[in-house]
Amino acid sequence: MRTIKVNHLVKTYGDKPLLQDISFSISDHDRIGLVGVNGTGKSTLLKVLAGLDQAESGSLEHPNDYKIEYLDQTPSLAEEDTVLDQIYYGHTAMMVALRQYESTVLALEKEPNNETLQQQLIQRQERMDQLEAWEAMTVAKTILTRLGIPAFDQQVKQLSGGQRKRIAIAKALIQPADLLILDEPTNHLDNDTIEWLEEFLPSYDGAILLVTHDRYFLNRMTNRMFELDKGNLYQYEGNYQIFLEEKARREEQEVQAEQKHQNILKKEIAWLKSGVKARGTKQKARADRVEEMKGKTFATNKQSLDFQIGAKRLGKKVIETQGLSKSYQGHLLFKDLDCLIQPGDRIGIVGANGSGKTTLLNILAGFVKPDSGTIDIGETVKIGYYTQEHPALEESVRVIDLVREVAEVVTTTDGQTITAEQMLERFLFPRSQQWTYVRKLSGGERRRLYLLTVLMEEPNVLFLDEPTNDLDTETLTVLEDYIEQFPGVVITVSHDRYFLDKVVDQLIAFTGQTTLTTFYGNYAAFREIEREQPKEEQKLSHHPRPKRTRKKLSFYEQKEWDMIEEDITSLEEALEQVTAEIEQAGSDIDKIQPLYEQQNQLEQELEEKMERWETLSLRIEEIKEES
């Protein structure tokens, strides 16, 4: 068994302890998830293990030939290198053979009649045979294909950010290693790629240690969990779900231990105050023990959102679009989008990277103009926009002052006021950290602070562009609780399946076609329907549907359609009248009972009419498409 042992690591950042005498070991085939609030030192620990940072004390024990492969959260690739140089990097015999073989194949594609290259290819094939490298190349090809890696001869400087991230992942997966360290591997990947990673990683030969905010990914990938909290490392056997259960049990035990500690401390202080005579040395020892007990702290101060969040008043009209179309660099992103966003909506925008999700969000926010179509934003709408690339925060100010610049207080729906200090606590900035300068915060802590400044503006329409990137799982839980209580509209672009399933109830999906798909339900239900769709149907989905023989509504359907909106309006007016009569009746049971029955009857008729309207409108849309 090839194992790495970590002994008594100590690491600080300024006066902040990150690692306080932590020890653990990682064995073959361990799948370990590392969690903790941003700023606790997760990335620092990973870099110490990878040899990119040094602890102040402690040691690492492992065999001399123990190999660690590290995927940084923001990978740095040599700009002048080709894709091939990056993927098959290193000086091991296997990597050199693969790199030389692939470079010869590329050269022959350009000069197929070059005899020197043909001879060279034969020699390099023989070298591949000697090293039994063909299986490694097959695995590499599979990884490269599924990750959509571009041509091998392209230089890194010619690639987009998303392509660079995929190359860095391929590079980490292809290199043979005893321990694979992945720092936020799912950031900036689309859901298809994340799901492929979930299928691939269980077959990885070495151990895996990963940090990720994707809780489905974390739950499915892990068999052990590490939690960093205030410099301490807690270890759990099991996946993320078991970790949550065990952590709740541990926190409950902490509360009990704190209560027991306080009871003993009270008795000790009472003993000292009572003036009971005892030998001087014994009395001094007891006083010293009391002072030591006073200084002991317990991790029991957990914050939660236990109030109803306020927002500026939002009228009935939010956002309505008609016939929106948008192209980018000659490529049509989407066309003819009609969308009616209503109070209380929770909408997720999903699709592959580069499909146009953020562009659509910017159009809905009124920041980008569509090529055609109209967008109408209600007068009472106040948008709070959490962007991927957030504006730089002023580094020379303290955390509390930065938040106070936005608002001193926010008001809850029941009229209470929540101070900036209280909001910071609820977003995991304890009072002791609120007077820290912004420049001392980690990248993840700055993202959390930026999120809070957006929410402190009390928007009634909240736009979130990839909010789960660079936020820890605990902050995401706080954000999800906030959204659950938020009285306004939420529209989010996200690839985080857990987040989407928890906070949205309808989707606008980029599915590879120029006409966007609207789906009512969560992301898991949407993916299930996508998987059930036959492959052949998916291939044909870009082409017009075959024409049906029936090209128009029947006489009775047309007559019903002509009258249905008037019928719905009449029912709504009648329902409003009955509701008003119920309010006027007060507590008069004799009057209220028949009015309630009439109200129920009208509501049922209205619901049936609305369902019929939806059925007929879909029929009309189909007829238009067929025509």
pLDDT at residue number 31: 96
- Residue 381 near residue 318 (C-beta atoms within 8 A): yes
Asked whether residue 395 carries a pLDDT value surpassing 60, the answer given is yes
Q: What's the average model confidence in pLDDT over 219-239?
A: 93
What number is the average pLDDT over the span 146-164? Answer: 80
* Alpha-carbon distances, residue 119 vs 108, 493, 612 (angstroms): 11, 52, 73
What does each C-alpha distance from 612 to 548, 615, 620 come to in angstroms? 22, 5, 12
**DSSP H or E segment with residue 476:** helix 473-485
Whether pLDDT at 600 is above 80: no
Lowest mean pLDDT, pick from 347-351, 420-424, 528-532: 528-532
| Exposure string for 111-126, b = 16+ CB within 10 A, e = fewer | eeeeeebeebbeebbe
> How far apart, in whole angstroms, are the C-alpha atoms of residue 40 and residue 318?
40
Residues 131 and 97 sit within 8 Å (Cβ to Cβ):
yes
Output the pLDDT for position 277.
52
Nearest CA among 214, 167, 219 for reference residue 191: 214
Question: What proportion of the chain, given as a percentage, has pLDDT over 70?
Answer: 86
Give dist(CA 52, CA 57) in Å, integer: 15
pLDDT of residue 432: 86
Higher confidence at residue 142 or residue 592? 142
Alpha helices in 346-432 (DSSP H): 357-364, 399-406, 420-426
Q: Give the pLDDT band of residue 284 (cuts 50, 70, 90).
A: low
What radius of gyration, in Å, describes the C-alpha atoms of the chain?
Answer: 31
- In this model, does residue 573 exceed pLDDT 50? yes
Q: Is the pLDDT score of 79 beyond 70? A: yes
CA angle 241, 244, 247 (to 5 degrees): 145
What is the average pLDDT across 495-517?
A: 90
Inform me whether the pLDDT recorded for 254 exceeds 80: no
* Contact status, residue 332 vs residue 514, Cβ threshold 8 Å: yes
Q: Are strands 461-465 and 489-493 parallel, antiparallel or unpaired?
A: parallel
3-state helix, strand, coil in the chain (%, to 5): 45, 20, 35
* Alpha-helical regions (H) of 385-438: 399-406, 420-426
- Categorize the per-residue pLDDT at 206 as very low, low, confident or very high, splitting at 50, 70 and 90: very high
If pLDDT is split at 50, 70 and 90, which confidence band does 123 have?
A: very high
Taking Cα atoms as reference points, which of 207, 182, 185, 205 lies closest to residue 194? Answer: 185
Higher-scoring residue by pLDDT: 550, 298: 298
Q: Point out the least confidently predicted range of 255-259, 509-513, 553-557.
A: 553-557
CB 155 within 8 A of CB 85: no
Nearest to 349 by CA among 339, 551, 232, 185: 339
Return the pLDDT at 164. Answer: 83
Shortest CA distance to 238 belongs to which of 251, 261, 222?
A: 222
pLDDT at 594: 79
What is the pLDDT of the chain when averaged over all its residues?
83
pLDDT of residue 271: 59
Query: What does the CA dihedral 442, 448, 452, 455 come to, rounded to 10 degrees?
Result: 150
pLDDT (mean) for 591-617? 78
Tokens 């230089």 map to which residue? Answer: 155
Position 533 scores a pLDDT of 67
Query: Could you give the CA distance from residue 324 to residue 339 in angstroms, rounded to a whole number?
Result: 9
Q: Does residue 210 have a pLDDT over 50?
A: yes
**Phi and psi dihedrals of 340, rounded to 5?**
-120, 110
Contacts of residue 253, Cβ cutoff 8 Å, sequence gap at least 6:
none
In the predicted model, is pLDDT for residue 415 greater than 80?
no
Per-residue pLDDT, 353: 81
Closest C-alpha to 318, from 381, 258, 272, 360: 381
pLDDT, position 421: 92
d(CA 521, CA 138): 39
Q: Which residue has the higher pLDDT, 613 or 373?
A: 373
Task: Place 550 in a pLDDT band, splitting at 50, 70 and 90.
Answer: very low
C-alpha–C-alpha distance, residues 384 and 363, integer Å:
14
Q: What are phi and psi of 336, to 5 degrees?
A: 55, 45
Other beta carbons less than 10 A from residue 158's beta carbon: 12
